[in-house]
């Protein structure tokens, strides 16, 4: 899933209602990977919202891409790599 934000910021996420682990990739306005947090675990089904951990990047981003856990490593993605949106997103959002 791709989240697109109006402004570049250190957008914080939580994993409410997720049923599987994810990699989260923050992408800056220049289409470079700003940060990657791999293998974020899904919360237990009975965990209260107030107890959910939050995840923030070390650098601001304009986009957050959620992938199945392990895809970022298997794709050898690293901070600083340039990203290009494909498919129906080609040419949109500047990437």
Averaged pLDDT score across all residues of the chain: 94
Instruction: Evaluate if residue 9 carries a pLDDT over 90.
Output: yes
pLDDT band per the 50, 70, 90 thresholds, residue 94 = confident
Q: Residue 94 in contact with residue 29, Cβ under 8 Å?
A: yes
Q: What residues contact residue 83 under an 8 Å CB cut-off, 6+ apart?
A: 25, 27, 31, 32, 33, 65, 95
CATH code, 54: 2.60.120.1140
pLDDT of residue 40: 96
Half-sphere exposure of 39 (CA within 13 A, CB side): 3
- Tell me how far apart the alpha carbons of residues 22 and 41 are, in angstroms, rounded to a whole number: 7
Please give the tally of structural domains in the chain. Answer: 1
Q: Is residue 84 situated within a structural domain? A: yes
pLDDT in tens, 57-80: 999 999 999 999 999 999 999 999
In percent, the amount of the chain with pLDDT more than 90 equals 79
pLDDT of residue 7: 93
pTM score, whole prediction: 0.91
Q: Is residue 45 situated within a structural domain? A: yes
pLDDT band per the 50, 70, 90 thresholds, residue 41 = very high
Q: Is residue 94 situated within a structural domain? A: no
């Amino acid at each position: 899933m791709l989240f697109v934000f109006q402004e570049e910021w250190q957008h914080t996420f939580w994993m409410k209602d997720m049923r599987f682990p994810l990699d989260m990739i923050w992408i800056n306005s220049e289409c470079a990977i700003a940060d990657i947090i791999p293998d974020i675990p899904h919360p237990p089904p009975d965990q209260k919202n107030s107890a959910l951990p939050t995840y923030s990047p070390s650098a601001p981003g304009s986009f957050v891409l959620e992938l199945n856990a392990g895809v970022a490593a298997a794709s050898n993605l690293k901070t600083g790599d340039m990203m290009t949106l494909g498919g129906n997103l080609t040419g949109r959002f500047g990437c």
